Structure 1
Amino acid sequence: MNSSRHRHPACLGLPVLAVSLIAVAGCSSADDGGSAAVPSPSPDAAVTKLCRNLDESLPKKVDGESRRDPEPASALTAGWGSPAIILRCGVAQPPKMIDPGVAEGRDADAVAGAVNGVDWLMEKREDGSYRFTTANRSAYVEVTVSEGRAREDTSAILVGLAPAIKKAIPEGIAS
């Protein structure tokens, strides 16, 4: 591993988040069945290949929930349970990832950290859901946790996905 690799500003100088800190993911009461269509990203060919490798490595269960992929079917998207945990591979870099307020800890709705060797940007969204996006990987992988599921400890989701992400998406800077 190259020790001089570049890091996204959102992850510079921030301590690794303890898994229990990710559990702050919410205290809402609405449940969404997660039945809506999920748009498939449109990455370049190199990222698409990484995402296909990720799709083949993803677990059959995440946080005790069986895999139920969203429509339309795509190797770039995956889902588990209801309310659904949705993964999209090959998404664009989230604007908050380059926001100096996040890197300096001044943004209450976004936190950078790592879980089981995967760096993440965690964002609380206006609808009460949470979006986790990988950082310092050759492709951006986004995991969305609905408002209803966010009431629970979401750390098991990231822990469950980490081995597949580490296997399929090498460390680096996504283009």
Structure 2
Amino acid sequence: MSSLNKIPANSALVIIDVQNDYFVHGAYPQWQVDEALARTLHSVQRAQQQAIPIILVQHIADTTQGEAPFFNPNTQGVEIHPALLAELPNAPIVVKQFADSFDGTELAHLLQGMQIKHLLLCGIMTQNCVTHTALSPAAQAYSVQVIADACTAPTQMVHHISLSALSRRVALINSQDL
């Protein structure tokens, strides 16, 4: 896609786990997370300009067996980043407890209700929740693209290895292509 192209019809932008624990004062800061957030916000603006629905995904740890390393309920770290919430105060939020955003959530039902055929995915962490969502058995019902520069991982190496592996199965684009 070039910047002159529109986002495909019947698309949704799904933003995965852009939560405070992944930022500088959080429990598990990620590589170039502020840059990934800026590109995510650019993707949000492009989707809004084209009236594309946007869905936020929030991971909340299951603490029935004790506290988790991050994303514990009722903590500042589990909250979606405030810059994203400021741009999307009314966006639906899908809460999950597993890497795959479809697993045990209402995401598929929500997308079906919106008659979505194409998914644009971005978020954190590239090698985990983004990859598991993109390759989910439930995602096979959609044309999936990952906005590679609006994702990040613990390190640059992990991010790039993950994108390389993911590119064999899913189309990768950049935020400037929207």
Whichever structure has more helix as a proportion of its residues is 2
Q: Fold-level match, TM-score > 0.5?
A: no
In the superposition, the TM-score normalised over structure 1's length comes to 0.30
| TM-score normalised by L of structure 2 | 0.29
